[in-house]
Amino acid sequence: MTGPAPRAEGAVSGARFAGFLLEAGFDLFTGVPCSMIEDLIVELESSPHASYLPAVREDAAVGLAGGAWLGERRPAVLLQNSGLGTSLNALASFSLMYGLPALLLVTWRGHEGRDAPEHLLTGEITPHLLELLDLPYRVLSRESAAADVAWAAGETEARLAPVALLLPPGVLATGEVAAGEAPPSAPGVAARATRPPLTPSLSRLAALRAVVKDLDREPVVHANGYICRESFSVADRPQNFYMIGSMGLASSIGLGVALARPDLPTLVFDGDGNVLMNLGTLAQVGAVAPPNLVHVVFDNSVYGSTGNQRSLSASVRLDALAEAAGYRRVAAVTDADALVETVRAMRRSDGPHFVLVKVTTEEASVPRIPHTPPEIRDRFRAGVRTA
């Protein structure tokens, strides 16, 4: 999992912090996971007193929370500060404009400039973003956590507006409670499905090994998180664009590359959480129909990079969505041979193509991408030029 500072002695446990939130009256939780709150999410998902609803994007979570408050619940949105950026418009022209209480529990990646490159600028400007919005906030500490949550609960209702708690590294414990098994499909949904269920047996690393071995010099745009890291560990190709930030954008970036270079088969290696965050791009791909785009989605039904929180792909077939959106060829595979055959055939025929690779939740122990973002840019651009 990608986190800035694992386990810290004396940190507040996820269970304790969940207790603070419930005691303060929050009763509906939504958001997009961050590894800094993985234990808290496990506790909320398993608590009989709480409901945690995974949202596809942070601004959608802000919308859901506002609706829930209108229905007289007391919502809290759990988000990484990257998602605060995504949510600016929802906060400005929904929550703040209508005056809708909610707690925003914002993890502070890039705190004090110590984190991976994708978090540094956002980490620096996080408090300023809240100040620009005139959104009251406190910075959580181990000692003040209970009081901070109580303050937020009172303040949000008194002001009729959202308030934020900023969570720096080391305040909440992580990695002490195991996430549950990948969830079964939601009742009712499986029964409606027309496609046979997929049982994963292949790890994402094994799937990547198989598919990468068969590649020539085609550009591959990778989604953020462990997909980048595992693919890098298999083969570091100049034609690999490692999207280490902006979750969800790999498909849009891949579409841009494919349209700019219609002579080159272009691949996107995506994750289910990433696809869900940018579902509209499926429709854009379907409508623009670039024949050279091969969209490969490694679907483990969880947000693996942040601690295996369930994603909606356990109940929604992404290949069915791609087909409905207008991809020309759609396939679902569970074994390496079928994956290699399918991607090989797709690279040689007109698309857009979509392959759902159902994989296990196994995650390899692999290092971060060592290249700087400008290095990734320059290698990739040159690699595409000469491909």
Ligand X SMILES: Cc1ncc(C[n+]2csc(CCOP(=O)(O)OP(=O)(O)O)c2C)c(N)n1
**54 touches ligand X by CB under 6 A:** no
Counting contacts by CB under 6 A, is residue 306 touching ligand X?
yes
DSSP 387: -
224 makes contact with ligand X (CB under 6 A): yes
28 DSSP β-pair partners: 75
* Beta-strand pair 220-222/162-167: unpaired
> Residue from 122, 156, 311, 315 that binds ligand X (CB under 6 A)?
311
C-alpha 52: how far from its chain's center?
Answer: 16
- Give pairs for 148-151: CB < 8 Å, separation 24+: 149/17, 149/20, 149/21, 149/23, 149/24, 149/103, 150/20, 150/23, 150/24
Q: Enumerate residues 6+ apart whose C-beta is below 8 A from 275.
A: 248, 251, 282, 297, 313, 318
Q: Smallest gap, in angstroms, from Cβ of residue 191 to ligand X? A: 25
Q: How far is the CB of 273 from ligand X (least distance, A)?
A: 3
Residue 226 C-beta: closest distance to ligand X, Å: 5
Q: Please identify, using beta-carbon distances, which residue of 240 and 305 lies nearer to ligand X.
A: 305
d(CA 73, CA 101): 10
Q: Kindly state whether residue 208 participates in binding ligand X, applying the rule CB under 6 A.
A: no
Q: Which of 4, 219, 290, 304 binds ligand X (CB under 6 A)?
A: 304
Of all residues in the shown chain, the one whose CB is closest to ligand X is: 271
Nearest to 379 by CA among 233, 217, 248, 229: 217
Contact 200, 184 (CB under 8 A): no
Cβ contact 274:223 at 8 Å = yes
Counting residues that bind ligand X (by CB under 6 A) gives 25
Helix (H, G, I), strand (E, B) or coil at 259: helix
Kindly state whether residue 302 participates in binding ligand X, applying the rule CB under 6 A: yes
Q: How far apart are CA 19 and CA 337, in angstroms?
A: 48
108 near ligand X (CB under 6 A): no
Given candidates 86, 126, 156, 342, which one binds ligand X under the rule CB under 6 A?
86
- 40/143 Cα distance (integer angstroms): 17
| Part of the chain binding ligand X (CB under 6 A), chosen from 29-37, 156-164, 260-268, 371-379 | 29-37
> How near is the Cβ of 227 to ligand X at its closest, in Å?
5
User: Which C-beta is closer to ligand X: that of 101 or that of 273?
Assistant: 273
Instruction: Identify which range of 28-36, 88-96, 156-164, 368-376 contacts ligand X by CB under 6 A.
Output: 28-36
Binding residue (CB under 6 A) for ligand X from 177, 227, 321, 346: 227
Report how far residue 375's alpha carbon sits from residue 382's, in angstroms, rounded to the nearest whole number: 11
Rounded to whole angstroms, how far apart are CA atoms 335 and 69?
45
> Per rule CB under 6 A, is residue 251 in the interface with ligand X?
no
Q: Which of residues 252-281 bind ligand X (CB under 6 A)?
A: 271-274
Interface residues with ligand X (CB under 6 A)? 32-34, 58, 80, 82-83, 86, 223-227, 247, 271-274, 300, 302-306, 311
